């Protein structure tokens, strides 16, 4: 049974101008520098699933997240959520309604809450802003309900953010995100600032809430084990492009793109205790001046002439979407079997 | 309700802020000096021996009385002596301080409102508007504040009818000093706004449909107020000195309504003829006022930003 | 068991504050043998970094050693003055910090920094030291070290910078390296490279490592033995393999269960309720008692000493003979 597609991202591009000011450029005779943070990204997210984007720093995963929630306009491409194009200015009313259904949970629980506001005011902000409750009394009741929902006490609403630990703050952020009854929540590294035991609490809470309110998550993370735990489907990003989209299980058991394989090999794992590994060579190139052809080719063990010249296009294979000449030609899949 | 107030007082008494105050002798002394001077000035009409602004009470025969000595003609004794027109120096200082403080506070408030608004807009909106505001600020910084104030004062004087000049002088002073000090506020607020606007709570507010105005006033302003308070205190000391300087140069408060600066200007004419008290006492008061407010501002900066030390 | 290099006994690190004396490290004892890798894990605020800083004498004031002994190679070093510590620091005990960017001086070339460090610890002339520096860069896997030695830190990538920092740490040929979160600032693929580098270099030279990290995976791959710290105390210490497969302290059990595994499907992670107590609010008895599922009477009264269970030592009353009967009732 195929579920409804809630989020449809098509050919998304995002450029950043990172050149020096005009005067400096003229004096130092430098060219404009353009950073292509996101390059031709297309994703479909089904209703009720958790889609994860993983990648190392500079892969563009957070930029995708910001564009999907509408914090950053795309340079090119389209984002459609619940059938409405985010850039369609003619549907003002629908867009405002849609905004209340998209929420975001941020990475840093210390920066994502206004330090001068009481928790109850923070959580009530979406309710007031979108006029979701009729009177003050209903808002107070709703805030208390949300606080209980995320495992805090209704009396905590009187406190200020600095009176809470990192994990509790992230609960407050989740309560705020739920306040506008969203359908779709983008989680940008929601646990990377937390300790493992607290991370477990937050991940469990997010899973419970997803079941209870049938939420759809776009989950951004660099931590593959967290992604494995949370996601149904995973997209792997490298230098602004998606190199592989697979079901979570397939990706971990049978990674197809050489970069995915490399990432999986690199994770330090409890299972590796007492064993040696062969680390992968090289580092991520400078995204301002990415390699020609397939951006992964300088680190790829299966590189050939075509990879150095031609940018690969995504192809579908065994239910996954792969962007690799080697896989397309059948070079890479075979070698692994041998 | 009572409990809530009690709770707040309790929290304030235990705060780090108060702790830092209690452990800083300089802050305590400055606070006491500043408070005494301000209260002394504000309450002057209730206890000052004379009203120096009321010519009817003046007796020219009392002129040049030395402090604590009976006047040779009238036999009256004055605590800090009298000036050339027989005005009691103690009273003129108290009333002069009222004018100095009023001009200082009003000028700082004006500079603060102007600077904070422009700083918030420049930082939040960015782009050409930011560039425009900050370039104007840069240009103004290249002129000394006093020069800017004198320029404004001179222009304003040209447009005011002669009979209203004394009335207008105070307000022109306030605007002149205020305009020469807004740059500090604008720069600091712009910097703080640039930092705050990229924090995730501002992004969350944007996601939640808040408009720019609401975010600026509701979210960013409360978070930049701490640094504004520090500059306001230091600016107050500067504004008082600026007012004294302008009045000393004869472009500020008129001799009929003398501020501390005007008193010093009057007094310096008699310094070498032996009537030292006419100059000394207003000067010492100005020094004490400006210094205590400035030290208080220094302490405030350290207390609010422990990392800056 | 090989020769003991570092012995810590009842180490206390405390901070005088106006709300009283806070104990950030509370009677921690452990040993490191020559050539051994000891991993120290714990959540933020558990006191693991402070333990490392105390050993090398780099506690930031007002933090200070409030008691206990640190014995390095038979010599007591916790009461040495800064002057007396200097010949040890860098030469015999080296330190690697989390952020490679701040560990290197951006104004000097890599070579200058290496040569200076080498000459501080070993008597070599400029030429010899430079040759040695190139050797070191080669050993830590920097390509074309002859040319790269004259580069500035900003010309290196994050992983390469951390390699340079390791080369700096190795310059004095130390017996012990304290590595405080050496891979936290790096990307996963680079992290693996640095871990194997550190591990292999120390194996060749017989250098002991005290590896401080919050990342259990890093410890699992690198450490021979590991200690789990909780609110300034050691909860459990033992062989890495045993501790990960078969944790005994309820906190270690929770910690291991809360890590999402790469292999195998877990529907729910084990979660420890609550969070670590703040330093000014540590509960009486065992500091873990408010979060512990297996808590019983003695836990509220007194903190358990380290009790030997199998190959590990556990600070938990559950393993005390006296209470074994009582608990079952």
Q: Which residue of B has its CA nearest to A179?
A: B208
- Give kind and range of the element (H or E) at residue C126: helix C126-139
CATH of the domain at B139: 1.10.3720.10
Residue A39 distance to chain C (closest CA, Å): 21
CATH of the domain at C72: 3.40.50.300
Which of A96, A104, A111 is the closest to B207 by Cβ?
A: A104
- Give kind and range of the element (H or E) at residue C33: strand C20-33
Mean pLDDT across chain B, nearest whole number? 84
CA–CA gap between residue C225 and residue C222 (Å, rounded): 9
Nearest in space to A243 (alpha carbons), one of A251, A231, A255, A235: A235
- Residue B253 φ then ψ, to 5°: -65, 135
Q: What is the pLDDT of residue B15?
A: 65
Pairing of strands C75-76, C64-72: antiparallel
Q: Tens of pLDDT along C59-74?
A: 888 888 988 999 998 8
Question: A-side interface with B, Cβ within 8 Å?
Answer: 69-71, 96, 99-100, 102-104, 106-108, 111-117, 125-126, 129-130, 173, 176, 180
What is the end-to-end Cα distance of chain A in Å, rounded?
Answer: 36
Asked if residue C110 belongs to a domain, the reply is: no
Residue C215 distance to chain A (closest CA, Å): 9
Residue B181's Cβ-side half-sphere holds a number of Cα atoms within 13 Å equal to: 30
The count of domains in chain B is: 1
| Interchain proximity A268–C191, CB inside 8 Å | yes
Print the domain residue range for B131. Answer: 25-308
- Give kind and range of the element (H or E) at residue C100: helix C100-103
| Interchain proximity A268–C259, CB inside 8 Å | no
Asked if residue B15 belongs to a domain, the reply is: no
| Interchain proximity A197–C263, CB inside 8 Å | no
Which of B204, B210, B214 is the closest to A104 by Cβ?
A: B204
Q: Tens of pLDDT along C6-27?
A: 999 999 999 887 777 888 899 9
Print the domain residue range for C45. Answer: 4-92+174-328
Residue A130's Cβ-side half-sphere holds a number of Cα atoms within 13 Å equal to: 28
The count of domains in chain C is: 1
Asked if residue B14 belongs to a domain, the reply is: no
Alpha carbon dihedral A143, A144, A149, A150, in 10-degree steps, equals 70
Q: Which residue of C has its CA nearest to A223?
A: C188
Q: What is the pLDDT of residue B22?
A: 82
Mean pLDDT across chain C, nearest whole number? 86
| Interchain proximity A277–C254, CB inside 8 Å | no
Structure tokens at B168: 């207008």
Domains of chain A: which residue ranges? 232-266+284-338
- Name the burial class of residue A308, with classes exposed (0-12), middle (13-18) and buried (19+) by CB atoms within 10 angstroms of its CB: middle
Q: Which of C191, C246, C271, C276 to probe by mutation at the A interface, max A CB count within 10 Å? A: C271
Residue A232 distance to chain B (closest CA, Å): 26
Which of C216, C240, C269 is the closest to A203 by Cβ?
A: C269
Residue B214 or residue C324, greater confidence: B214
Q: Is the pLDDT of residue C164 over 80?
A: yes
Q: What is the pLDDT of residue B290?
A: 92
| Interchain proximity B200–A70, CB inside 8 Å | no
Which residues neighbour B137 within 8 Å (Cβ) at sequence distance 6 or greater?
B118, B182, B183, B186, B187
- With contacts defined as CB-CB under 8 Å, which chain B residues touch A173? 204
Find the range with the poorest average confidence among A71-80, C52-61, C176-185, C267-276: C267-276
User: At B44, is the pLDDT very low, low, confident or very high (cuts 50, 70, 90)?
Assistant: confident
| Interchain proximity A195–C43, CB inside 8 Å | yes
Averaged pLDDT in 10-residue chunks for chain A of 338 residues:
82 86 78 86 93 89 92 92 87 87 91 91 93 90 94 92 90 94 94 87 93 94 89 93 92 90 79 58 78 88 88 89 89 57
The string of DSSP letters for chain B reads: -HHHHHHHHHHHHHSHHHHHHHT-HHHHHHHHHHHHHHHHHHTHHHH-S--TT-GGG--GGGTTPPTTSB-TTT--B-SS-B-TT--BHHHHHHHHHHHHHHHHHHHHHHHHHHHHHHHHHHHHH-HHHHHHHHHHHHHHHHS-HHHHHHHHHHHHHHHS-GGGHHHHHHHHHHHHHHHHHHHHHHHHHHHHHHHHHTSHHHHHHHHTT--HHHIIIIIIHHHHHHHHHHHHHHHHHHHHHHHHHHHHTTSSS-TTS--HHHHHHHHHTTGGGT-THHHHHHHHHHHHHHHHHHHHHHHHHHHH-GGG-
Asked if residue B9 belongs to a domain, the reply is: no
CA–CA gap between residue C267 and residue C245 (Å, rounded): 20
Nearest in space to A251 (alpha carbons), one of A232, A226, A238: A232
Residue C212 distance to chain A (closest CA, Å): 14
A-B interface: how many C-beta pairs under 8 angstroms? 56
| Interchain proximity C268–A269, CB inside 8 Å | no
Question: A-side interface with C, Cβ within 8 Å?
Answer: 56-57, 165-168, 195-201, 203-204, 207, 222, 224-226, 228-230, 252, 262-277, 279-281, 283-284
Asked if residue C136 belongs to a domain, the reply is: no
Where do we find the tokens 């510590």? C85
Residue B306 or residue B229, greater confidence: B229
Residue B259 distance to chain A (closest CA, Å): 40
């Amino acid at each position: 049974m195929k579920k409804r597609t809630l989020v449809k991202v098509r050919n998304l591009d995002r450029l950043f101008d990172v050149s020096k000011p005009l005067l400096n450029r003229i004096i130092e005779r430098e060219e404009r520098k353009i950073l292509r943070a996101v390059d031709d990204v297309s994703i479909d997210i089904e209703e009720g699933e958790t889609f994860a984007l993983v990648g190392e720093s500079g892969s563009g995963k957070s930029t995708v997240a910001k564009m999907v929630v509408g914090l950053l306009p795309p340079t090119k491409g389209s984002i459609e959520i619940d059938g409405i194009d985010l850039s369609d200015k003619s549907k003002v009313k629908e867009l405002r309604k849609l905004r209340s259904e998209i929420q975001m949970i941020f990475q840093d629980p210390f920066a994502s809450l206004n330090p001068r506001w009481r928790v109850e005011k923070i959580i009530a902000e979406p309710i007031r802003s979108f006029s979701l409750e009729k009177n003050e009394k209903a808002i107070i009741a709703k805030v208390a309900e949300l606080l209980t929902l995320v495992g805090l006490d209704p009396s905590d609403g009187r406190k200020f953010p600095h009176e809470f630990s990192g994990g509790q703050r992230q609960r407050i952020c989740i309560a705020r995100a739920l306040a506008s009854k969203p359908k779709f929540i983008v989680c940008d590294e929601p646990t990377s600032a937390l300790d493992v035991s607290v991370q477990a609490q937050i991940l469990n809470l997010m899973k419970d809430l997803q079941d209870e309110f049938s939420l759809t998550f776009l989950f951004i993370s660099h931590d593959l084990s967290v992604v494995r735990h949370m996601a149904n489907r995973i997209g792997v990003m490298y230098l602004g492009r998606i190199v592989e989209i697979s079901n979570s299980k397939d990706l971990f058991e049978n990674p197809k793109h050489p970069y995915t394989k490399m990432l999986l090999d690199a994770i330090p794992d409890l299972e590796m205790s007492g064993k040696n590994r062969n680390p992968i060579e090289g580092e991520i190139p400078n995204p301002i001046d990415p390699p020609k052809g397939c951006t992964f080719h300088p680190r790829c063990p299966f590189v050939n002439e075509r990879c150095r010249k031609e940018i690969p296009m995504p192809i579908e294979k065994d239910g996954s979407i792969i962007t690799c000449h080697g896989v397309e030609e059948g070079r890479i899949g075979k070698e692994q079997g041998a | 309700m009572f409990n809530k107030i009690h709770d707040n007082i309790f929290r304030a008494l235990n705060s780090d802020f108060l702790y830092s105050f209690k452990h800083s002798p300089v802050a305590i002394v400055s606070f006491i000096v500043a408070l005494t001077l301000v209260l002394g000035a504000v309450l002057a009409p209730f206890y000052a021996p004379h009203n120096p602004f009321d010519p009817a009470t003046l007796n020219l025969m009392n002129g040049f009385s030395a402090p604590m000595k009976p006047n040779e003609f009238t036999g009256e004794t004055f605590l800090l002596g009298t000036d050339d027109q027989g005005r009691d120096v103690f009273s003129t200082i108290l009333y002069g301080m009222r004018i100095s403080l009023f001009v200082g506070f009003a000028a700082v408030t004006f500079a603060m409102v102007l600077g904070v608004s422009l700083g918030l807009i420049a930082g939040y909106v960015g782009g050409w508007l930011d560039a425009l505001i900050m370039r104007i600020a840069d240009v103004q910084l290249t002129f000394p504040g006093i020069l800017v104030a004198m320029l404004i004062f001179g222009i304003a004087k040209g447009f005011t009818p002669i009979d209203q000049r004394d009335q207008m002088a105070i307000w022109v002073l306030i605007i002149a000093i205020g305009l020469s000090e807004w740059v500090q506020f604008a720069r600091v607020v712009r910097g703080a706004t640039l930092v705050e606007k990229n924090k995730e709570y501002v992004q969350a507010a944007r996601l939640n449909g808040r408009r720019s105005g609401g975010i600026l006033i509701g979210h960013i302003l409360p978070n930049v107020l701490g640094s504004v308070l520090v500059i306001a205190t230091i600016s107050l000391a500067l504004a008082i000195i600026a007012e004294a300087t302008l009045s000393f140069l004869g472009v500020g408060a008129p001799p009929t309504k003398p501020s501390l600066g005007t008193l010093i200007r009057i007094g310096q004419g008699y310094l070498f003829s032996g009537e030292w008290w006419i100059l000394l006492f207003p000067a010492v008061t100005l020094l004490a006022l400006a210094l205590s407010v400035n030290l208080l501002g220094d302490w405030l900066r350290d207390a609010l930003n422990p990392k800056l030390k | 068991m090989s020769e003991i290099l570092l012995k810590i006994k009842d180490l206390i690190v405390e901070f005088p504050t106006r709300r009283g004396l806070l104990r950030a490290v509370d009677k921690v004892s452990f040993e490191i043998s020559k050539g051994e890798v000891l991993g120290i894990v714990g959540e933020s605020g558990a006191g693991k970094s402070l333990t490392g800083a105390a050993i090398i004498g780099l506690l930031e004031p007002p933090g200070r050693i409030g008691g206990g002994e640190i014995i390095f190679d038979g010599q007591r070093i916790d009461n040495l003055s800064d002057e007396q510590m200097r010949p040890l620091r860098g030469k015999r005990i080296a330190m690697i910090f989390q952020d490679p960017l701040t560990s290197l001086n951006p104004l000097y070339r890599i070579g200058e920094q290496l040569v200076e460090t080498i000459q501080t610890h070993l008597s070599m002339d400029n030429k010899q030291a430079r040759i040695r520096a190139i050797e070191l860069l080669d050993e830590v896997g920097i390509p074309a070290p002859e040319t790269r030695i004259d580069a500035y830190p900003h010309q290196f990538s994050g992983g390469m910078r951390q390699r340079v920092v390791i080369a700096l740490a190795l310059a004095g040929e130390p017996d012990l390296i304290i590595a405080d979160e050496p891979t936290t600032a790096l990307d996963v693929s680079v992290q693996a490279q640095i871990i194997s580098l550190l591990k292999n270099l120390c194996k060749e030279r017989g250098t002991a490592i005290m590896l401080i990290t919050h990342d259990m995976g890093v410890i699992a791959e690198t450490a021979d033995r590991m200690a789990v710290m909780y609110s300034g105390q050691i909860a459990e210490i033992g062989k890495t393999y045993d501790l990960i497969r078969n944790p005994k302290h309820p906190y270690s059990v929770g910690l291991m269960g809360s890590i999402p595994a790469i292999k195998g499907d877990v529907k729910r992670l084990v979660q420890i309720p609550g969070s670590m107590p703040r330093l000014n609010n540590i509960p009486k008895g065992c500091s873990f008692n408010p979060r512990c599922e297996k808590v019983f009477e003695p836990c509220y009264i007194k903190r358990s000493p380290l009790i030997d269970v199998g190959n590990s030592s556990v600070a938990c009353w559950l393993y005390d003979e006296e209470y074994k009967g009582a608990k079952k009732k």
